[in-house]
Amino acid sequence: MTTRMVHLVHDGVSVIVDVSGGVPEVVHWGEPLTSPDAERFSAMSTRPLTHGSLDVVPPLQLVPQHSLGSLARPGLIGHRPGGRDWSPRFSECEVESTSRSVVTVSHDDIAMLRLSTHIELTDSGALHASAVVTNLGATRYLLDALTVTVPVPSQARDLATYTGRWSREATIHRRSMDHGAWTSENRTGRTSHEYPPTMWWSTDAAREWSGEAWGCHLAWSGNHVMLAEVLPDGRRYAQLGELLMPGEVCLEPGASYSTPVIVGAYSSSGFTPATWVMHGHLRTMARESGAVPQVRKVLLNTWEATYFDHDAEKLKGLADSAAGIGVERFVLDDGWFGTRRNDRQGLGDWVVSREVYPDGLAPLISHVTALGMDFGIWIEPEMVNPASEVARNHPDWVLHASGYEPVQARHQLVLDLTNDAAYQHVFGQLDELLRNHDIAFVKWDMNRPLIHATSADGAAGAHRQTTAFHRLLDQLRINHPGVEFESCASGGGRIDHAVLARAARVWTSDCNDPLERQRIQRGVGMWVPNEMLGMHVAARTSHTTGRSHRMEMRCLSAIFGWMGVECDPRALDDHELRVLKDAIALHKRHRALLHTGDAVRFDVDDESALAHGVYATDRSEALLGYVQLQTSPWLVAPRWRIPGLDPERSYTVTNLPLGKLGGIGRTLPAWMSSPITCTGHELAVIGLQPPSLWPESGVLVYLRS
């Protein structure tokens, strides 16, 4: 067989795809290469046959085929009635390629299936990989799985994955992977708090600014499956795709199923530069879809300030205090509609409550806009309370299995958006709400998972529900192009590149405890840029942890993202109010940098501290934060090295005081008392001496060349 290879090239990365077989195989994804000769590459990399193995070396293809002898988990799993055509084998593929993409089409004339694949290096350097299967036969094909596999090289010895829960999302776990497999399966019907669809392979010594890293993210807002495996022959790979429930996708003759896109990111210089690839990909998608606001306005969300207390005069007073500290947007949370005076009733009736707003929302909106702020509102379109008009009048619109009692969560059921009548009802009410009110921002919540989600035809409905959610959001954005949408699912339950192609931001977590937020934001920030992450200053005592924090720490944990306020400014003392007002002003002053620059994370030689920040893309300036999470093992912390700046430039280093600095140091490091000038090389090699801080406090540093 003649070896045929396609070489995809972008600054900093090469992808070589072998298209000699029936399905393409990524044989190199990593360091840039000059255009390699296919025969020479094959001679250098062909694996030998060994005793105890097959008489062929099965390729580790984009969609691995059991019928060729691959021991990897098959990428295509399905069958026809009676169990036929359960392990297809695809013939030589047709290939169309450019310097940045390769598209293949292959057939199995026995199983009567067509498999199409698409591999591309995008403008950001991200790897896109996806597949489509089409039923060419005369009978149904019952699809159980179609996933995409991306091999990584043998030096990728470590695997980093995420777990989480409500209000404690994106906990990073790193382990050595020399044998066996790691897998996770998400059945929540949303991206999930528990198993976000992102993983990172890396060399064993990789850190934020050194070593090789390969990231994989599934751009999908529903159920998913992920697998990382080291095969017995030593080959390593990541496999990601939608998790399909039994019978969920049955392909009628001529029908097709497309996988979500895998987004890959590679860097030879550590995790931080690899995350820039993810961020660049998402920023490009957002620009192309029109989901990028001109200014990401500082907002106040009313939830933790008022909960269900929707007294119009009190809300106007809250708006007055918000405007007084520099807030630019006032977001009215749950409780403004129908009979929704608590979380047990009214959900799904998207009509302004005349009980609490006898004159409608117009007077409150007018009050807000007269203060120079714009107005936002909370909705949860995919859910209903049983005690609601829509559920009482249309019980058949609930997404549940006929004959079974549906499982409730938070006194909620799921509205079946795959039912056209239900879909049109929701769309009509929301469309009217946005047409009749001056609303600039919508917080779109989803507060429960899909359990036993069954469409009216009796088949599993999570896949169709997810695509219907995307369609509903798309349609509302088309009708109301000036409205910004936020993806919220009890906080961080729906954060992925598919939803962020549509939503301007995500609500990162329902937990506003600033200590928890430091790690949550660091984890999610590896695949989402800071400006798309909602980061809010909450009340002194967190309602999810019961811990209390000084205002300085609350602001330090909110200033680097899309900043907001969740507390009631009227309940703050004079010191807290002054610090918050100063923090909002500081955020606005540096907003252009924070929302367009490269997010950076640092390896600090003290596990009790974290350091992070943003560099301007031209490396002309930076805003950095150093946070002491708990007491340090040492009286004096190790120096904080700051790599990644222009080594030849000189930078003025300025301490940005915010409120009161607390610590055990009798003196401060010299750079904190008056600005100093040093080179980017000196900052990387020598670094800055942090002060001896109290736990749960930190400092801000501004660099300017």
Which tokens sit at 589?
A: 């002053």
The span from the CA of 308 to the CA of 315, in Å, is 11
Residue 584: which residues within 8 A CB-CB, separation 6 or more? 298, 325, 326, 327, 563, 565
Q: Catalytic: 445?
A: yes
Residue 618 DSSP code? T
- Give me the catalytic one of 18, 333, 416, 445: 445
HSE-CB of 52 using CA atoms within 13 angstroms: 2
The span from the CA of 700 to the CA of 623, in Å, is 7
Using DSSP's 3-state secondary structure scheme, residue 527 falls into: coil
Which tokens sit at 511?
A: 């937990």
- Give me the catalytic one of 158, 349, 416, 510: 510
Answer for the pair 341, 308: CB distance below 8 angstroms, yes or no. Answer: yes
Centre a 10 Å sphere on the Cβ of residue 435 and count the other Cβ atoms it contains: 10
Which tokens sit at 580?
A: 């918050």
If we measure between CA atoms, which residue out of 537, 595, 583, 597 comes closest to residue 564?
537
Which residue, chain included where needed, has tokens 């009215």? 332
Residue 634, Cβ density class (10 Å: 0-12 exposed, 13-18 middle, ≥19 buried) = exposed
Answer for the pair 264, 216: CB distance below 8 angstroms, yes or no. Answer: yes
DSSP3 helix / strand / coil % (the chain, rounded to 5):
20, 30, 45
Per-residue DSSP letters for 316-384? Answer: HHHHHHHHHTT--EEEE-S-SBTT-SSTTB-TT--SB-TTT-TT-SHHHHHHHHHTT-EEEEEE-TTEE
125 in the Ramachandran plot: left (φ > 0), alpha (ψ -120 to 50) or beta? left
If we measure between CA atoms, which residue out of 583, 588, 637, 636 comes closest to residue 610?
637
Beta strand 676-679 pairing with 441-444: unpaired
Which tokens sit at 171?
A: 């906990």
Q: N- to C-terminal Cα distance for the chain? A: 57
Residue 308, Cβ density class (10 Å: 0-12 exposed, 13-18 middle, ≥19 buried) = middle
Element (H, E) at 129: strand 127-135
Answer for the pair 398, 408: CB distance below 8 angstroms, yes or no. Answer: no
Answer for the pair 504, 484: CB distance below 8 angstroms, yes or no. Answer: yes
Q: Catalytic: 108?
A: no
The span from the CA of 236 to the CA of 119, in Å, is 19
C-alpha gyration radius of the chain: 27
- Cα separations (Å) of 593 from 124, 299, 532, 617? 19, 19, 14, 9
545 in the Ramachandran plot: left (φ > 0), alpha (ψ -120 to 50) or beta? alpha
Q: Which positions are catalytic?
A: 445, 510
